[in-house]
Amino acid sequence: MKQLKYLFFPVLMTVFSVLNSCGNIKNSKYITIGMVDGWAEDVAMTHVAKAILDHQGYHVIIQKASTDMILASMNNEDTDLFLGVWLPYTHAKKVAKFPGLIYLGTNYDNGRIGLVVPEYVPIESIEELNQHKDQFSHRIIGIEKGAGLTTGTDKAIINYQLDYKQINSSTIAMITELQNAIQHQQWIVVAGWQPHWMFGKMKLKFLKDPKNTFGQAEQIKTYARKSFGKDHPDLAKFFSKMHFDDEHMSDLLMKMEHSKNKEATAKKWVDEHSDVVKVWLDKN
C-alpha cells in the first residue's frame, strides 16, 4: 500500500502539471487559427494574419478543417480564431448552433455567393437555366458538401424548380472543371463566390437571383472562442481592425494564387503594405 501511495503522488502531480500547462497555453504566445483549405480568401487572410503575428512574437498554428469542425472546436475553447465566417446568410445557421463564440471584427464587406457562368454564356438569370438544361448537361458544379454555398445551391434548385443536379466534390475540382470548360468554350454553371482569384483570372458573371435565394452582399467576419478577448486583449483589438478593401483583397488573392509558398507570399504582402498593417496593429 505504501508503494502505491508513493507512486500515486508523482502521477497526481504530473496530471496537475499537464492541466496547468493546458490552461496557460490559452494565455501564452501560441495562437491557433482554423482555416478551410481551398477557400482562397480564407487561406489568404489567415496566412497574412500569421505573418503579422509571427513578427509580433506569437507562434501561430493553422488548423485545417471544415467550417463546422472549426466552429465546434472554438465553441469548446480548443481553437482560438476563424477568419472565414460569412454573414448574414451563408453561415448564420452554423454560427447559431454555437453559443460559445464571440464576434471580433469584419475582414471584408463585399462578399457574394451564387451561381456563376463564363461571360460567353448568353444567359443572365437563374430563371433561364431550365431553357438551356441540355447545354449545361443538367449539372451545377458545386464545392464541398456541408458548405453554406452548397446548401444555398440546393435551395436554388428547389426554389427555381431547376431540372438540374448539383455535383459536389471540392473547390479545386470545381475550378478545374470550370477552367477546362472555358478552354473549350463549353457551357458550364458553377456554385461560386466573391472574393476569389478566379474572377481576376477568368471572365465570369453571377446569374441574377430574383428570388434572392443566395441573399444580398455578405460580410466576412472573424469569430473567436468566448474567452479569447480576456486572454488576449491586444490581439482581440488587432482582429477588430483587420480589414481588406476591394483593391487589397484582389491584389492579395491574385498573388496567393500564383504562389508556390503561401507563407512567403503573405510575408511579402505584409511588408509591401506596412502602412495598412500599422493601422491594424494600433492599440488605440
Task: Read off the CATH number of the domain in which 165 is found.
Answer: 3.40.190.100
Does some domain include residue 153? yes
Residues 64-80: tens digit of each pLDDT: 999 999 999 999 999 99
116 contact partners, CB below 8 Å, separation of at least 6: 189, 190, 191, 192, 204, 205, 206, 207
Does some domain include residue 51? yes
* Interatomic CA distance for residues 228 and 105, integer angstroms: 13
Residues 196-208: tens digit of each pLDDT: 999 988 999 999 9
Does some domain include residue 18? no
pLDDT, position 27: 59
In this predicted structure, the answer to whether residue 89 has a pLDDT above a threshold of 60 is yes
Same domain, 37 and 98: yes
* % pLDDT > 70, the chain: 90
Same domain, 124 and 98: no
What are 230's three cell numbers? 480576456
65 within 8 A of 73, measured Cβ to Cβ:
yes
pTM of the predicted protein model: 0.79
117 within 8 A of 198, measured Cβ to Cβ:
no
Query: Is the omega angle on the peptide bond into residue 195 within 30 degrees of 0, that is, cis?
Result: yes
In this predicted structure, the answer to whether residue 225 has a pLDDT above a threshold of 60 is yes
Does some domain include residue 7? no
Does some domain include residue 21? no
Residues 93-133: tens digit of each pLDDT: 999 999 999 999 999 999 999 999 999 999 999 999 999 99
Same domain, 99 and 120: no
Does some domain include residue 265? yes
Does some domain include residue 3? no
Q: What is the mean pLDDT of the chain?
A: 90
In this predicted structure, the answer to whether residue 25 has a pLDDT above a threshold of 60 is no
Instruction: Report the number of distinct structural domains present in the chain.
Output: 2
Residue with cell 504566445: 29
Task: Read off the CATH number of the domain in which 276 is found.
Answer: 3.40.190.10
